[in-house]
Every structure is written in structure tokens, then in C-alpha cells.
């Protein structure tokens, strides 16, 4: 079971809802997380159970970043709006930076999200289980 987070900016929320609905059969077996409004929108139209953090501008991206830092997240689908400035831009940058620090797969547009979801379906993310088993500082 993977831990997957969904985040979408306002003008990308319809796209996110359509995407998650189309692949609900893939996501249903996993632990799901989201920022506040994104999760609410997805749960309105699917049967998925999503743990919702705060809304992005109120700290939701940072809460998800904290999961990344604690090795508690395997994959993020973050549909960003590249054409609209966000008040919490530093939080967004910080989250993406942490994904790079910890090597967490993150899709920032729908084309990459499609590829990742197909990889999940094929079982390509089984390597994440190995990462979880190896805890630096404990196993060394
Ligand atoms: O702003 C966001 C991510 O940066 C998303 O937050 P919401 O899901 O609460 O709209």
C-alpha cells in the first residue's frame, strides 16, 4: 500500500477531480492524503477516503512536506497553476524541494500524473517498500 497525496490549485481542481475519478480503481487500495479543498472536492464525487490537511495557503503544503521529511509519503500529484501567482509560493517551493531531497516522485502536471498512475497500477512502486524497510541511522 502506497501513501499518495493530491494537491491542486484552484484552476486545476476540475482537472484533478476528473483525473482521480478516472483512476479511482487504482487509488482505492492506497492511503490517501490531500490539502483541504482538493480533498474535499475529490471526496464529493468519489468513494475515496482521504485524510485532508489544511488548505494550501494556510499551511497544507507544509504539512505534506512534513510527511515527506519523515518518510511517510511515497508519491505526490500536485497540479500547480503555472499562470497564477500564489500567496504561499514559498511553501510550494519548499514542498517541491523536499521531494527532491528525499527522491519522492511528484507529478506537477496531468501528463506526468498519467504516467505515474499507470506505473502504480503495474506495481512499479514496489521499490518504495524497500526504502521504508531501510532506515538510515538504524540499519547502519
Ligand atoms: O493551495 C494549494 C496548494 O498549494 C491547494 O490547497 P487547497 O487544496 O486547500 O485548495
Q: Of ligand 1's atoms, which has the minimum distance to the CA of residue 95?
A: 4
Q: What's the complex ipTM?
A: 0.98
pLDDT of residue 129: 74
Q: With cut-offs at 50, 70 and 90, classify the pLDDT of residue 131.
A: confident
Residue with CA nearest ligand 1 atom 3: 56
Q: 116, 132, 122: which is closest to 77 by C-alpha?
A: 116
Residue 90's pLDDT band, with cuts at 50, 70 and 90, is: very high
Residue 38 CB–ligand 1 contact under 6 Å: yes
Q: Is the CB of 7 under 6 A from ligand 1?
A: yes
92 lines ligand 1 (CB under 6 A): yes
For the chain, domain boundaries: 3-133
Looking at the predicted structure, is the pLDDT value of residue 112 above 60? yes
Q: Is 0.80 surpassed by the pTM of this model? A: yes
Could you tell me the CATH superfamily of domain 3-133?
Methylglyoxal synthase-like domain (3.40.50.1380)
CB contact set of 65 (below 8 Å; sequence gap of 6+): 91, 94, 95, 98
Amino acid at each position: 500500500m502506497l501513501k499518495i497525496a493530491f494537491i491542486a490549485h484552484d484552476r486545476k481542481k476540475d482537472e484533478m477531480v476528473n483525473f482521480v475519478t478516472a483512476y479511482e480503481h487504482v487509488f482505492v487500495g492506497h492511503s490517501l492524503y490531500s490539502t483541504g479543498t482538493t480533498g474535499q472536492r475529490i471526496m464529493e464525487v468519489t468513494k475515496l477516503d482521504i485524510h485532508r490537511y489544511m488548505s494550501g495557503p494556510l499551511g497544507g503544503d507544509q504539512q505534506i512536506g512534513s510527511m515527506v521529511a519523515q518518510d511517510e509519503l511515497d508519491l505526490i500529484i500536485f497540479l500547480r497553476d503555472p499562470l497564477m501567482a500564489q500567496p504561499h509560493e514559498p511553501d510550494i517551493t519548499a514542498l517541491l524541494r523536499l521531494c527532491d531531497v528525499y527522491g519522492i516522485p511528484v507529478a506537477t502536471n496531468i501528463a506526468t500524473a498519467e504516467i505515474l498512475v499507470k506505473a502504480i497500477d503495474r506495481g512499479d512502486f514496489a521499490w518504495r517498500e524497500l526504502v521504508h524497510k531501510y532506515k538510515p541511522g538504524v540499519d547502519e
